Structure 1
Amino acid sequence: MLSLVSIFVLFIGLGNSKSTIKRLPGYPDDLPFTLETGYIGVREHENVQLFYYFIESENNPSEDPLLLYLTGGPAVSGLSSILYQIGPLSFNLENSWKKNITFDLNPNSWTKMANMIFLDAPAGTGFSYAKTWEALKSSDSILALDIYEFLKKWLLEHPKFQRNPLYVSGISYMGLLIPIVVSEIYNGNECGHEPIMNFKGYIMVSPFTDKVADYNSRIEYAHRLALISDDIYKSTVINCKGDYENTNQENQLCAQNLQRVDECTTGINLENILMPKCSLVNPEPYCPDATHVFLVEWANNKDVQNALGIREGTIETWEYSNIANRYDHGKNDTIMYSYDVLSSFEYQQQLTTKNCQVLIISGDHDMVVPYVGVEKWIEALNIPTEIPWKPWLLLKQIAGYQMTYVHKGYSLKYATIKGSGHVVALAKPKELLSMVSGWLASQTYSSISF
């Protein structure tokens, strides 16, 4: 969280800035990849300063796709995705638990196949900040516009990447925002706004799409995975009329059914129902939430902040997630953030008329955004099926299932990853990399006029 002092610090004349990072505390040698960090100012007077991390592809940076990757929450730092999930470094857990925070190279990094931009957004997240109190306020819809403005300015500052195939990607809550950002990109290109982006499509992992439908799907998912019995499920469907979010308080039978559901699922780790529920009181190395303490300690180290090029005085304490902005089930708007996008389905529908390639990925043991809800909204798009449901393989083993929908220039591939939860990269990093890299490699690119 920003202190009142740091919120009102004005950085007049600083403008955008960037630094190439050669070394980082915790890694013993020069970084074996190209890392750039910097700030891009958005909104009026550039009062919001968004901090980014850009990592060039370790394969062929001049031709490989450029992916903007958006971390969920909202208001979870991009460092989480870089150091825990799909970036080129990962914590050495054995050393870190011994208070010696060090990194290993991640063999399943997405930088093996693509240039990656990670972002701290909105302001107040990670190392991003606002120059004024008013600029610190945000919402889903404002954040989507901020991200689009950021991307335009970033490409103007990095002209050599303007020809690379561009994708917007992200996880979880960003499923509500990514289709809005993508729509802004198409609108900007059609209106001739500079820079014209060589945009190809988007990738969403475990995506929220509709806050009511996704939560409603948890009941059906719990039944399919034997967390609730046939009796509980059938009674709940009948008494609640299939709507478990907008229930009538006078409907006592529905309330009783939902209480029985809660009794059966409260002790479940919703992010991955196969894993124990995380305890921060007595954490174990397998507990992802507990290992975030390494990231907090590392990112608050002054040597780390100097190495990353952080502007002194812009933040007081670095936090993994800005709790004031982060969404929880049923959370109301706060003074700082409005959760004003309830569904991105209409945007997804509109995008089916574009030349757009889409990849949607679900872990089949994710109860935060269950695959059953994702399948329903994809089916509701009414796009013809080109390739029906079938298994996909990795090392001659079934890694999950997939199907593909196509209509004219629009294509959507939906894939599940077997045994994975909400944060797919934690449980099945090899499978995730295989699916994304294979899908990107299957795209045929045609250049556009610049």
Structure 2
Amino acid sequence: MAMHKLVLSQSLMIISGCVFLQLYPLEAAPELSLVRSLPGFEGTFPSKHYSGYVTLEGIPPKNLFYYFAVSEKDPVRDPVVLWLNGGPGCSSFDGFVYEHGPFNFEAAKEEGGLPVLHLNPYSWSKVASIIYLDSPVGVGFSYSVNTSNYVNGDLQTAAETHLFLLKWFEQFPEFTANPFYIAGESYAGIYVPTLASDIVKGIKAGIKPIINFKGYMVGNGVCDPEFDGSALVPFAHGMGLISDNMFKEAEVLCKGNYHKFISIDCQQILYKIFMVLDELNIYDILEPCFHSREADDVANGNTTLLPQSFKQLGSTGRPLAVRKRMFGRAWPFRAPVEDGIIPSWPQLMRKVIVPCMDDVQATIWLNNDAVREAIHANPESGNWSLCVSLLYIHDAGSMISYHKNLTSSGYRVLIYSGDHDMCVPFTGTQAWTQSLGYEVVDEWRPWKSNGQIAGFIQEYSNDFTFLTVKGAGHTVPEYKPRESLDFFSRWLERKQI
């Protein structure tokens, strides 16, 4: 159980030429948040790790959970990066366990055992201090004693995450001078720019502590319904997934707009295209879907062969083609994201079955009592699951205006795409980045990692960059860990990618 005590921190305040010692309370001393060991890992941590809660005042209060991995290189100077997974409603332990956290997780060698942890040679904490935040409240280990607080939207989430950061930097004042960045993927394409906007407003208003905000990065992120919604058909054609005739027919009948069904004929050709693509893995078209006899049985309404966790869903829908470990880790089904209430993955699971879901290792590890005690996760947070049902409202609209405002204000931006993701295809992301109208300062060219072409990059004025990662799916660092660490570190260090 997390330990809390009142700790007084001090700063100097000058009023009318007189110097006063100002005392203010911190919710938990950093030393009480120190992670001293982790079940499943034998060895020495490569840097200090902290985890625990930041409490947002209210009746009742909201408790936001974080895990903080200090940089392994130069903590005094290296950037601090806040990482956010999407969903909405998915825990950022997704990024910690499966993407770029300090450890790689190996399945237990015997049934009922804990996963075995090994140091990850491509952890992003090699070059930066990373905060993994469960947000909004109700996600992962973040909780409130009143679950009516689990009603969220884009604007509220951004405001509460901003408050979290202000309180977090009060608890860790030694990091306030470090360059600060935000990073995230998928639905964090909404989380990141909205939060960045709130941070900038706070800086302009002089809210303290002043966050040394420098910029942000988004991977395979949703952005704008028009661009995201019209991306799939050109992507499928370019990847050789649909025929020339299908593509040309769609172009004529839909007039290049695949976001809105402008006619019955347009709707019919799009339905035809979707049926052709139906059994592909939408999160990486190169990866198998793990179809099996069990999956076929589910499609026919026979759930006797499935694990109990699937039977309890009471679903008899068609199996959904997704890769292993994908359970709400991405924007459900396909982009775009529309205004209004967003269905969560658990809600969608009432209609479809995900037979190839396998988040077993994270679920076993994070629900182990010893692990939860080691990372100071309160029992009141309940069982951990990768994604939860939230009443969540998309109320921030298109992100294009956010990106324009932030880049014109001098903040650095990197937008990256795994080029084999069909959920948020790079074609839509490339189109909206071009639509900003910035001058091209480094024309489309390959970038390399380990001596090999790892993708392509185009740099614009206003320190705005679009980058693809060759052969990667929706969660880029999971598919291409070495390449991801390369572009991440070079961009942070302002080196040429």
Q: TM-score range by the shorter chain?
A: 0.7 to 0.9
Q: After TM superposition, list the pairs within 5 Å mapping 1:63-142 onto structure 2.
A: 63-93=77-107, 95=109, 99-142=113-156
Q: CA deviation at 1:307?
A: 1.1
Partner residue of 2:18? none
Task: Confirm whether residue 441 of structure 1 aligns to residue 455 of structure 2.
Answer: no
Per-residue CA deviations over 1:84-121 (Å, capped at 9, x if unaligned) read: 10111111147488955111111000000000000011
Distance 2:102 2:43 in 1: 14
Gap runs ≥5 in structure 2: 8-25, 296-305, 307-322, 327-356
The CA deviation at 1:13 is 9.4
Give the deviation of 1:415 after TM superposition: 1.0
Q: Give the letter for the 1:296 counterpart.
A: T
In terms of mean alpha carbon deviation, does 43-52 or 263-272 score higher? 43-52
Matched, 1:359 2:411: no
* Cα 1:319/1:95, change in 2 over 3 Å: same
Secondary structure at 1:86 match in 2: coil
Aligned to 2:352: none
Counterpart residue number, 1:320: 386
Task: Report the counterpart of residue 431 of structure 1 in structure 2.
Answer: 483
Q: Does 1:301 align with 2:368?
A: yes
SS of 1:414's partner is strand
Does the Cα contact within 8 Å between 1:138 and 1:337 map onto a contact in 2?
A: yes
Is residue 265 of structure 1 aligned with residue 277 of structure 2?
yes
**Which of residues 429, 434, 451 in structure 2 aligns to 1:396?**
451
Write out per-residue CA displacement over residues 129-163 of structure 1, whole angstroms, 9 at most, x where no aligned residue: 01323322111221111111111111121110000
| Equivalent pair of 1:16/1:38 in contact (CA under 8 Å) | no
Indicate the SS of the match to 1:25. coil
Letter in 1 for 2:371: V
Q: Which of 320, 324, 332 is the aligned partner of 1:287?
A: 324
Name whichever of 142-151 and 31-40 sits farther off: 31-40
Give the unaligned 5+ runs of structure 1: 1-10, 326-335, 445-450
Give CA deviations for 1:11-42 in whole Å, capped at 9, x if unaligned: 99998435111111111234333110011122
| Contact 1:48–1:136 under 8 Å retained in 2 | no
One-letter amino acid of the structure 1 residue matched with residue 365 of structure 2: W
> Over residues 28-79 of structure 1, what are the superposed CA-to-partner deviations in whole Å (9 max), with x where a residue is unaligned?
2343331100111225357211000011000010110000111111221121
Once residues 230 and 96 of structure 1 are traced to their aligned partners in structure 2, the CA distance between those partners, rounded to angstroms, is: 51
Distance, in Å, in 1 between the alignment partners of 2:288 and 2:404 is 37
How far apart, in 1, do the equivalents of 2:383 and 2:451 lie?
Answer: 47
Structure 1 residue runs of 4 or more that deviate by more than 6 Å after TM superposition = 11-15
**Matches for 1:160-199 after TM superposition, within 5 Å:** 160-199=174-213
The answer for the alignment partner of 2:471 in structure 1 is 419
Cα offsets for 1:238-293 (capped at 9, x unmatched): 21233333215xx331122012101211111111000012459579xx83334411
Secondary structure, counterpart of 1:352 in structure 2: helix
Residue 178 of structure 1: how far off its partner (Å): 1.0
TM-score, L = length of structure 1: 0.87
| Residue of structure 2 equivalent to 1:204 | 218
- Coordinate RMSD, CA, aligned: 2.4
SS of the residue 1:433 aligns to: helix
Alpha-carbon deviations, 1:410-440, whole Å to 9, x = none?
Answer: 3012111111111111211101110110111
What is aligned with 1:447?
Answer: none
* Corresponding residue for residue 3 of structure 1: none
Give SS of 1:82's match: helix
- In the alignment, is the contact (CA less than 8 A) between 2:108 and 2:116 conserved in 1? no
In the other structure, the counterpart of 2:347 is none
Corresponding residue SS for 2:455: strand
Q: What is the aligned-residue identity percentage?
A: 33
For residues 419 and 138 of structure 2, the distance between their equivalents in structure 1, rounded to whole angstroms, comes to 33
Q: 1:40, 1:50 within 8 Å by CA — same for their partners in 2?
A: yes
When the two structures are superposed, what TM-score results if normalisation uses the length of structure 2?
A: 0.79
Measured against aligned partners, the alpha-carbon deviations of 1:187-244 in whole angstroms (never above 9, x if no partner) come to: 1111111111111111111111113421320111011101111111111122123333
Q: 1:172 to 1:21 in 2, by over 3 A?
A: same
Quote how far apart the aligned CAs of 1:338 are.
Answer: 1.4
Q: Is the 8 A contact 1:43 1:146 kept in 2?
A: no
SS of the residue corresponding to residue 369 of structure 1 reads coil
**Cα distance between partner residues in 2 of 1:118 and 1:62:** 19
Give secondary structure in 2 for the equivalent of 1:164: coil
For residues 287 and 95 of structure 1, do their structure 2 counterparts lie closer, same or farther at Cα, with a shift above 3 Å needed? farther
Q: Is the 2:81–2:181 contact (alpha carbons within 8 Å) kept by the matching residues of 1?
A: yes
